[in-house]
Structure 1
């Protein structure tokens, strides 16, 4: 498989706090033109694949825990056993911006259809969990949350197709609470072990075969 490209950054208005109150309401805007007066670089945005109001395909989210556990990207060095994609970028005032970052940090929950990339990530994450358990470390049972094609997205969430088959569900208020409410209502939750049994690797779809995984 060819390597996945680095996702572009999409700067837009602040919408949420990691564990706090809403700072602004409204749907995500289209990628904007560069702001020549911006000195921070936040005014520069690159087009992303798409933003959706309902799930365009069945998507799967690898959850290291039963509940959503996104955390501040600045804590990454202190959390060596956590998944990099579970980190979000938090502004100085605690605000979370909906974004697609050049460092592959998405400000939300990263999801995929059942593609080869999804299979490789799930199997890698699960192997790391089993290794930590073998080392005597305390580990939670990881889950796969499956959200069916056509599921409507509530107003406080946006679904962004960042690149190829990679999506992120980004909230516009308290991140983990908003995601838990959505998963509890719409997702089918399975342990990773059960999901892998039901989804063998050879049954996965190529990540660039969007017509095929969009049909599921």
Structure 2
């Protein structure tokens, strides 16, 4: 339960610069567009993906390195980019951070499925939590401890700026959510943002929002 809808990643693009001067693989100290994230708990609950917990979001699994720390990393089509050492690792992994996306069709598919799964779990006896959407406005600055990475089209992840423990990363993210994000009830968000009004992921019209 709580597993979100995922989609096959598109082929890795050979060109890194799009027509609006924002790299397909890029990093940012502030949010270039208003972005959203669905969470079941108020606090950040990123987890060690090796635990394979099926009561957490799949996208919230991060890789713990041999030194016991979470390193900044992104992946595309099974090619992992270790940003800290700038080297390529041929593994299949998820990105090491919190997923944020603008209001696009893919974002809606992921978060609507997550909310549906949460409701199903509660109906089946799971204790209720505090599901909500986080909204971070365009231009919001990011703590020096965190860096926002754009991985593909409309997918962004908020990751550690340098290797840190999972506990420290979750604490840092929770502080950012508390100070810099707005919490919106799922029912309110879904009513305010109909699926048919969402942006196409590859159109980049969402960059103006």
Gaps of 5+ in 2: 1-6, 17-22, 79-91
Structure 1 counterpart of 2:46: 70
Structure 2 counterpart of 1:54: 30
Structure 2 counterpart of 1:165: 154
Structure 2 counterpart of 1:126: 115
Cα distance in 1 for partners of 2:189, 2:120 equals: 19
Cα distance in 1 for partners of 2:11, 2:192 equals: 30
Look up the SS of the partner of 1:91 in the other structure: coil
The residue correspondences of 1:1-216 to structure 2 (distance < 5 A) are 4-5=8-9, 49-76=25-52, 79-101=53-75, 102=78, 103-172=92-161, 173=164, 174-210=168-204, 212-216=205-209
Q: Against the structure 1 CA distance between its residues 48 and 100, is the aligned structure 2 distance closer, same or farther, given a 3 Å change threshold?
A: farther
Q: CA deviation at 1:6?
A: 5.8
Gaps of 5+ in 1: 9-30, 32-46
User: Would you identify which runs of 4 or more consecutive aligned residues in structure 1 move more than 6 Å?
Assistant: none
Cα distance in 1 for partners of 2:8, 2:38 equals: 18
Q: Work out whether residues 126 and 192 of structure 1, in 8 Å CA contact, stay in contact via their aligned partners in 2.
A: yes
Cα distance in 2 for partners of 1:120, 1:147 equals: 19
Cα distance in 1 for partners of 2:93, 2:184 equals: 26
Cα distance in 2 for partners of 1:63, 1:115 equals: 17
Q: Work out whether residues 85 and 104 of structure 1, in 8 Å CA contact, stay in contact via their aligned partners in 2.
A: no
Q: CA deviation at 1:7?
A: 8.6
* TM-score between both structures, scaled by the size of structure 2: 0.78
Cα distance in 1 for partners of 2:39, 2:30 equals: 21
Q: Work out whether residues 7 and 104 of structure 1, in 8 Å CA contact, stay in contact via their aligned partners in 2.
A: no
Q: Work out whether residues 113 and 165 of structure 1, in 8 Å CA contact, stay in contact via their aligned partners in 2.
A: yes
- How many residues are aligned here? 174
Q: CA deviation at 1:93?
A: 2.1
* TM-score between both structures, scaled by the size of structure 1: 0.75
Q: CA deviation at 1:171?
A: 2.0
